[in-house]
Structure 1
């Protein structure tokens, strides 16, 4: 399998972030809708797989659900989609590298947030509620239990959980840029996403599916969702923009142009 070095991955991430933030608005909205729907479908698959398993299986149930959830990000990366949490890393890197303005970043994050929300809620309402895939029996019970777990966290807990989540999610995106073939991308995505789901970290777009699914079942309110959205959004932003984008920019990109110029100058002097 072809493999890019971490420094080259940083460069590819910058190029990707610059492309993402300069997409036409309609393209951005379509791809954002698809990404929100893809992540929701991964969560729906998780619930359908684990909801009716015996409680005696313990944490192995979480592992099975975590094993199938990554299909959502696989679809985003390979089929095409614009996911907020991934853009929190790549678009930030493009800004740090001087390829984009902060205004471009904020515009991208805003429109991708909106379109991801529409895609995730579409799946929650039409597939989860109208079709009834999470509207009754053990599937409803599992959905409500997951939503309650997300809503139970206080602001600081949700914020920190969001950091842990997007540290792993953006590393999955980062690793996918290291691979040139589909098999390599699938392997790169699967392990970090499986890890964040098995641990139980909070993902702002995944929560756009599971909490509204509980709302449609009459179990929570949109105020509850928003109270969760704010700290998880901020935590995801910190996880992707600081713990991946900023740190790898400092390690691999910052000052590289100046260093290259100095090397050329020294060679010229010799």
Structure 2
């Protein structure tokens, strides 16, 4: 592992590189990022839906154990995920490597591409193929979406903070590992824990709630209200609780 100070330097370099990518690359990689996170959530549903609801902790653990494949693919094979960009690009911003305008444009571009990727998986793989359209799978999608939507705006923001604190740490540990196995382990456990706890991830919700909508179990208004507040929490979790805290600790003097 690199030291925390060295990881911060790597994070700043990676955040700067994210800004410098061509628009087409950002859109394609953002689509991949949204799709991969959504496929991780689809795997969660497929492996855990048949576990009885009175074993909720077991259901959450089993589903959470497969969810990290999405971020592993994004970070090792290539992809852009807005929650990761919230951490890495903000570190580059703190170090004055990127402007606030470039940061916001990057976040907008990757967010839109991520949502398109999430909607693609929700409709084509979930609804059209039928993987979330019937039986225990449709029931679980409906129940999970209902739980996300039922959160108050304060709960959604705070849950979003917790989520991206862990996702940001997954990136941080991945950047700090010197080999592939170390990167996978560094990603796996923080992501598994945030999912098992039940924290809310804006892009994952951009798959789950539309998947429920396609099965008649929610509305687009429900999705938009949830997305805005969870997204705000994700910004705070990644840009302040991870890159902000570490920048202040290792380079803010």
The TM-score with structure 1 as length reference comes to 0.92
Residue 215 of structure 1 corresponds to 213
Residue 175 of structure 1 corresponds to 173
2: distance between equivalents of 1:20 and 1:234?
21
2: distance between equivalents of 1:104 and 1:58?
43
Shift of 1:54: 2.8
Counterpart mapping for 1:1-270 below 5 A: 3-255=1-253
Q: Secondary structure at the match of 2:2?
A: coil
Per-residue CA shift, 1:32-66, capped at 9, x if unaligned? 00000000000000000000123343411110101
2: distance between equivalents of 1:56 and 1:208?
27
Which 4+ runs in 1 deviate beyond 4 A? none
Larger radius of gyration: 1
Q: Secondary structure at the match of 2:80?
A: coil
Q: Secondary structure at the match of 1:243?
A: coil
1: distance between equivalents of 2:76 and 2:247?
25
Per-residue CA shift, 1:209-229, capped at 9, x if unaligned? 000000111111111100001
- Structure 1 alignment gaps of length 5 or more: 256-270
Per-residue CA shift, 1:198-251, capped at 9, x if unaligned? 000000000000000001111111111000011101000000001111111111
Q: For the aligned residues, what is the CA RMSD?
A: 0.7
Q: Secondary structure at the match of 1:219?
A: coil
1: distance between equivalents of 2:56 and 2:204?
23
Q: Secondary structure at the match of 2:240?
A: helix
2: distance between equivalents of 1:54 and 1:24?
47
2: distance between equivalents of 1:206 and 1:11?
29
The TM-score with structure 2 as length reference comes to 0.99
> How many residues align structurally?
253
Structure 1 56/223 Cα, relative in aligned 2: closer, same or farther at 3 Å?
Answer: closer
Q: Secondary structure at the match of 2:183?
A: helix
Q: Secondary structure at the match of 1:59?
A: helix
Q: Secondary structure at the match of 1:100?
A: coil
Q: Secondary structure at the match of 1:132?
A: coil
